[in-house]
Amino acid sequence: MRNIIAFPLLGLAVILQSAIVSQFSLLAGYADLVLVILAAWALQDGVTTAFHWAFLASIMVGFSSHLPWFIYMAGYFSVVFLALLLQRRIWQAPLLAMFSVTFLGTLVMHLLSYAYLRVAGDPLPFRDTMGLITLPSLLLNLLLSIPLYSFMRDIAHWVFPPMEEV
Amino acid sequence: MKDLFSRTLQTTIIFLIIGGILALSFGGFFSSVTNRFTGGFVFTQEWFATRYQAIQEFLAAPRDIASLRNRNTELQKQVSDLQAQVINLQQRVNETEILAALVDFSRTNPENTYKAASVIGRDPSPFLHYIIINRGSNDGILRGMPVVTSEGLVGRVDAVIADAARVQLITDPASSVNVHLKNANTDAMLIGSVTGDISLDLISQDATVQSGDLILTSGLGGGFPPDLIIGQVVNVHKRAAELFQQSTVQPAVDFGRLQIVLVIINFRAVDIAPLVPTTTP
């Protein structure tokens, strides 16, 4: 039942992304708050609703963006999939897993966005896109991933309390 | 009787002696003696007074510190309240200045009808240069309407919901605007880029374009009304081997600081797509 926190939390994240985070750009890139939240959520122990959150987030972000929702859905599902994959492999180093998922997830998200816009006819030079958008966004996402991982761990403990608390 | 006389005489003599001593002391004849006496007296009084003040301060100090702390907290709260007021007023002054500039702009361009809107967000994707404004179809905003500020052209409405709209900036990589270079008297196409810079393409090789030339919308294509200011030419790239000249552009609008914009609501964009010839197999 506590999973309904996804609605206000992701809604707030989309609003913050649009109103504030996108104003703090490094070169032409900026952080993806929703992507990092999803990565941090999917990496928490006991979380079983990561794909539901990704679905909800992609609908919300797709509503405010010119990019279609299915691109966000593909990107965010990839992030969750990567998180679940890496969680089993490097479960003893959660921050390393967080960095890895953020890094790979950002790359996948940007490659999907780039591919869609190229197919749609937008003239995007690959080198400029990588150098001016993707690399700065990667750096900002990695910086954002440390505090957000701690925050989402607290949220996960609240939504899925450990057994002794139950 | 004799006793009374002797007592009166005694009292008179005592008074005279005391009066004489006082007169002599006021006259300064006993200064060394009085100095020594008063010096000792002052020293003793000072000793007691300083000790008393020290004890008084020791006993009263905690109460004073507490009251000072309370006062300090009150003053700090007042300072923070006043700082918040100053920030609020500065913001209002900025908004008023922007609105005054927009009112001036609308007065100087009475042929258009404007609807002011605040910028409330940007596109979540860094690949796209779109803004979100707080006016939508409830305010008469329609897709394709041009968006301007007092400085010049901002973009056009891309999508509309009831209370908000998404505007494609002219800096977006997918944006293209037909423009007219006033000094060179030639047409060109303005295109955006991933970095947010704008440039001119399709400038005729015959045209003489110079740095500082004013760029206006041409109105061709029906996407924008004519004669909206866009910016100035910065550099011209002319190569004999190429079909057209290109140039970089300094936009008139600061796209990083967009706060309030005007939507031209009496302009209907013309969709010329059906008129564009298509190749039939």
- Tens-place pLDDT, residues A72-128: 999 999 999 999 888 877 767 788 889 999 999 999 999 999 999 999 888 888 888
Q: Contacts of residue A110 in chain B, CB cutoff 8 Å? A: 127
The answer to whether A19 contacts chain B (CB < 8 Å) is yes
What are A9-60's pLDDT values in tens digits?
999 999 999 888 988 888 889 999 999 999 999 998 888 888 999 999 999 9
- Most confident stretch, B90-94, B101-105, B176-180: B176-180
Distance separating alpha carbons of residues B125 and A30, to the nearest angstrom:
8
Q: Which of B126, B132, B193 sits opposite A64 (nearest CB)?
A: B132
Out of B121, B166, B194, the one facing A128 most closely (by C-beta) is B194
The more confident residue out of A83 and B30 is A83
Q: List, as one string, the DSSP characters of chain A.
A: -GGGGHHHHHHHHHHHHHHTGGGS-BTTB---HHHHHHHHHHTSTT---HHHHHHHHHHHHHHHSSS-HHHHHHHHHHHHHHHHHHHHHSTT-HHHHHHHHHHHHHHHHHHHHHHHHHHTT----HHHHIIIIIHHHHHHHHHHHHHHHHHHHHHHHHHS--TTT-
SS3 of B21, please?
A: helix
Minimum mean pLDDT range among A145-149, A159-163, B164-168, B257-261: A159-163
Statement: residue A134 has pLDDT above 90: yes
Q: Residues near B168 by Cβ (< 8 Å), separated by ≥ 6? A: A66, B129, B130, B155, B156, B157, B158, B174, B175
In this predicted structure, the answer to whether residue A152 has a pLDDT above a threshold of 70 is yes
What's the whole-number average pLDDT of chain A? 88
Q: Which two tokens stand for residue B241?
A: 């081997």
Element containing residue B44 per DSSP (H, E):
helix B31-108
Q: How far is CA B135 from CA B143, B151, B223, B225, in A?
A: 12, 20, 20, 21
Residue of A nearest to B130 (CA): A66
C-alpha B1/C-alpha A148 separation (Å) is 114
Residue pair B261/B117 in contact by the 8 Å Cβ criterion: yes
**Tokens 């209370």 belong to residue:** B163
Q: What is the DSSP string of B165-226?
A: EEEEETTSTT-EEEEEETTTTEEEEEE--TTS-EEEEEEETTS---TT-EEEE--GGGSS-T
Helix (H, G, I), strand (E, B) or coil at B28: coil
The rounded distance, in Å, linking the Cα atoms of A155 and A37 is 11
Residue B275: predicted pLDDT: 76
Nearest CA in chain B to A25: B126
End-to-end CA distance of chain B: 162
Is residue B142 within 8 Å of B263, Cβ to Cβ?
no
pLDDT at B1: 59
CA distance B192 to A126: 16
Rounded to an integer, the average pLDDT of B31-36 is: 73
Quick one: which of B166, B249, B154, B156 has its CA closest to B201?
B249
- Residue B189 is encoded by which pair of tokens? 């196409």
Q: What's the pLDDT at A166?
A: 46
pLDDT at A147: 92
A12 touches chain B (CB under 8 A): no
B194, A135 in Cβ contact below 8 A? no
The rounded mean pLDDT for chain B is 85
**Which 69-108 residues of chain A touch chain B by CB within 8 A?**
none
Q: Give the gap in angstroms from C-alpha B173 to the nearest C-alpha of chain A.
A: 6
Return the structure tokens found at A89: 């492999």
**ipTM of this predicted complex?**
0.88
Q: pLDDT per residue over B176-225, tens digit each?
A: 999 999 888 889 999 998 888 899 999 888 888 888 889 999 988 888 88
pLDDT band of residue A70 (cuts 50, 70, 90) is very high
Distance from CA of A161 to the nearest CA of B (A): 33
pLDDT band at B59 (very low <50, low <70, confident <90, very high): confident
Nearest CA in chain A to B128: A66
How many CB atoms are located within 10 Å of the residue B215 CB? 30
SS3 (DSSP) at B248: strand
Q: What is the pTM of this model?
A: 0.74
Contacts of B179 (CB under 8 A, 6+ apart): B187, B188, B189, B190, B200, B215, B216, B217, B218, B230
